[in-house]
Each structure stands twice: as C-alpha cells, then as structure tokens.
Amino acid sequence: MNQNYTQNPLGIEIKCFGKTINREIGVEYYVRRLTEYAAHERNSMWDWSKVKNPLRVALNYVVVRVCGSMPSLKTKNALYRSIGIKIGKNVSVGLEVTFDIFFPELIEIGDNSIIGYGSTLLCHEFLIGKWKKGPIEIGKNVLIGANSTVLAGVVIGSGATVSACSLVNRDITSDALVGGVPAREIRSEYTT
C-alpha cells in the first residue's frame, strides 16, 4: 500500500514579540484518489440526476435502507453485491450502515472485515462548483468501528482497526490502529 503524500515546503513569516522570523517548514498534505467534475451554474447537488440514472439511485437507496435493518448477513451481502459492492467472504456489515447510493460499485471490502453499526461509506462529494468521486478499498480483516465515516478515494490496509466515531479521510496502513476526527494513527502493527 502506498501513501499518497506530497511534500509542500511553505515559506511562512512568524512574528514573535514584534520581530519577524522567516522560516521554511515542510508540511505533508494528503491527496485522495478522486476524479473531479465541473458543475454548472448552481451547486453540484442540483445536477445529481445527470450524474446517475435516478431509477438506479432509487434502487440503490432501497437496497441500502432494507439491508440497514436486516440481521441476516448472508442475505445482506447478496443484496449489496446486487448493486455492485464488491464484498469478500465472511464480511459482516452492521445495522444502519449507509453505503454510497450513487456509486456503490466503487466500494470494495476484503474478506472477514467488519463494518460497525451506523457507519457511512461515501464514494462521492457534491461541492459548490464541482463534484468528485473516488473508490474506497478496504482490505482483509479490517474492523471499522460504529458510527465511523469513510470518505471517497481512500484505501484501508488489511488488518487495520478504525475506532468508533472516526472520520477516515486518508489512507490507513495495514495493521494500524487509528481513531479520531480526522482519523490519526494511534498505533501501528496493532495486535489483539
């Protein structure tokens, strides 16, 4: 798994007790794997029906909502596969999980992973003046805690653990334990 970081040296000016200290610092910032599209005159959400067929979006919504209250993991996984989500063997998706209804086909979940109660996985972002989409790749044996959000364009490595109520907006390395908003590494090579 490669990290998608770019070095950006910033020249900044710091004022300290009336004196100016010029110094250059290196800042790592993350670039997610997203494809960007222009919106026209209004915010991009107004054009959602041009992005994806409304009947397909309605079907995806119904499947995601029905599965959200369904306890049977086998039936739930079969229904998720029917709308294009790539789900591995023995994946457990908790109650009230929301998958992207516009681009479920961009979600891939590895074998034996768990998506906790009330989590959200989004493969798109509607913004002012543009919209973006990107894949979500979740490795094998990953645990995503309850009420977490995973944004478009990220990879969560095999064996990683995301603590409850976290926002995943960058890649997570294999076997890492992360948490928070945004999610930061708490410990790498996490073992139980």
Helices (H) and strands (E) in the chain, counts: 3, 19
Name the burial class of residue 80, with classes exposed (0-12), middle (13-18) and buried (19+) by CB atoms within 10 angstroms of its CB. Answer: buried
DSSP letter string over 166-185?
-EE-S-B-TT-EEETTTTEE
E-strand ranges in 39-139 read 86-87, 92-93, 98-99, 107-109, 114-115, 120-121, 124-126, 130-133, 136-138
Kindly state the DSSP code that residue 126 receives in the 8-state scheme. Answer: E
Contact 12, 25 (CB under 8 A): yes
- The pLDDT value recorded for residue 187 is 74
Query: For residue 191, what pLDDT is reported?
Result: 54
pLDDT of residue 5: 40
Query: What value does the CA radius of gyration of the chain take, rounded to a whole number of Å?
Result: 19
What is the predicted pLDDT for the residue at 192?
Answer: 53
> What are the C-alpha distances in Å from 154 to residues 62, 121, 167?
25, 10, 11
- Please state whether the predicted TM-score (pTM) of the whole model is above 0.85: no
Block mean pLDDT (10 aa), the chain, length 192:
41 45 47 86 89 96 97 97 98 98 98 98 94 96 98 97 96 95 80 54
CATH architecture of the domain with residue range 34-187 = 3 Solenoid (2.160)
